[in-house]
Homo-oligomer: A and B are copies of this chain.
Amino acid sequence: MIQKLIEKIKKTNAPICVGLDPMLSYVPEQILKEAYSDCGETLSGAAEAIWRYNRKLIDATCDLIPAVKPQVAMYEQFGVEGLKAFQKTVEYCHEKGLIVIGDVKRGDIGSTSAAYAAAHLGKVTVGTNAYAPFDEDFATVNPYLGTDGIQPFLDVCGEEGKGIFILVKTSNPSSGEFQDRIMDGRPLYEWVGEKVAEWAGSCMEDSYSNVGAVVGATYPEMGKILRRILPKSFILVPGYGAQGGKGADLTHFFNADGLGAIVNSSRGIIAAYKQEKYQKFGAEHFEEAARAAVEDMIADIDGALRAAN
C-alpha cells in the first residue's frame, strides 16, 4: 500500500492528507437542517449530516490529494449510526480513488489486536465467507503494549498489502509526559522509534515500509531525529495548521528523495470557511473554501521543501 500512496503523492505533488474529523459544530447550518428534517434530531440525523458534509468535502478535494484520514472517534461518538457514516465515508473515498488512513489508534494484545487488525485492515471469516468490515488502507496503532500488540497488525499488513502508522511522538502539548522521559540516555519516543524501525524492516514494499510512524508537526526537532532513526518509514505528521505547525517546520520530516512524510490537516481544511482568510466563500460554499485551503497547504509545503533544497 505504501507504493500506491507514493504513486499518488507523486501524481498530485501533494504529500498531504485531509483529516475527515467532522465535528457537528463544523457542519454548515443548511446541511444540519436538511439532515435533521429527513432523520430527526437523532444519532441517525447527526450521522446523516456528517456523511453529507464529508461527501461534499471529498467531491471538492479528491482530485488534489492522495489520501484522507478520517478520525473514527468523531463517528463513534454517534454510536452505531456514526460508524455507518464512517463506513460509507471509507467506501466513497475508495470510489473516488483516495487512500484512506483510518485514524483509530487501536492497540491491544494477541487475539484482541488481531480482531482490531481484521476490523480495520483485514477480513473476518464467517462460516464459508470472508468480509472486510471497515476496509481502510492504513490504520494508526498505539505502541504502549509492545510487540504483542503490533505483530497481529504486521501479519494483516503482510497478508493484505496494507499499512500502519504507529504513534511515536504525538502532536499534543502533554505528549512529553511519558514520551520524552529519558531512559538510558534517550527519550522514550526514540526507543519507540527504534522499535518501529525494526517492525518496519519486516514489512518492506520496495524502497519504503508499510509500517510508518506518527510524529507531530509541533515537534520539528524531534521529527529530525526520528527521520534518521526511521529512514524506510513514512511519517504521518498531524498538527499542521490549526495545531500550530507550518510548512517551514516540516522539511525535516522528509527524506532527501522528497518523500517519507505525509502531512495531515483536519480543521484547517474542512472548517476553512470559518477562518477569516476563507470567509468570502461563506458557509454555503464551505467545500470551495476547503479546496482553496488544500491548494494553499500544498503550495506552503511545496515552497518550504523547495526553499530547503
Contacts and interface: CB of A to CB of B under 8 A. Distances in A.
A148 B131 CA distance: 36
Interface stretch (A102-110, A200-208, A276-284): A102-110
Contacts of A133: 43, 76-80, 82
Contacts of A41: 126-129
Interface string A148-186: 110000000000000000010011111111110111100
A168 to B, nearest CB: 10
B173 A148 contact: yes
Contacts of A109: 170-172
Interface size on A, as a range, is 35 or more
A11 to B, nearest CB: 30
Contact of A73 (B73, B108, B181): B108
Interface string A110-129: 11110110110000111111
A45 B144 CA distance: 34
Interface stretch (A60-68, A187-195, A223-231, A250-258): A187-195
A79 B120 CA distance: 9
Contacts of A24: 125-126
A13 interface: no
A249 B257 CA distance: 54
A80 B73 contact: no
Contact of A144 (B74, B77, B111, B179): B179
Contacts of A173: 148
A188 B178 contact: yes
Given A172-B148, A174-B146, A76 B167 contact: no
A24 to B, nearest CB: 7
28 contacts: A36-B127, A41-B126, A41-B128, A41-B129, A42-B126, A42-B129, A42-B131, A43-B131, A73-B106, A73-B112, A73-B115, A76-B133, A79-B83, A80-B80, A80-B83, A82-B133, A105-B108, A105-B142, A142-B142, A142-B144, A143-B144, A143-B178, A144-B144, A145-B172, A146-B179, A149-B172, A178-B195, A181-B184
Given A79-B87, A80-B83, A80-B84, 10 more contacts: A24-B126, A42-B126, A46-B126, A73-B116, A74-B112, A78-B131, A79-B131, A109-B170, A144-B179, A178-B195
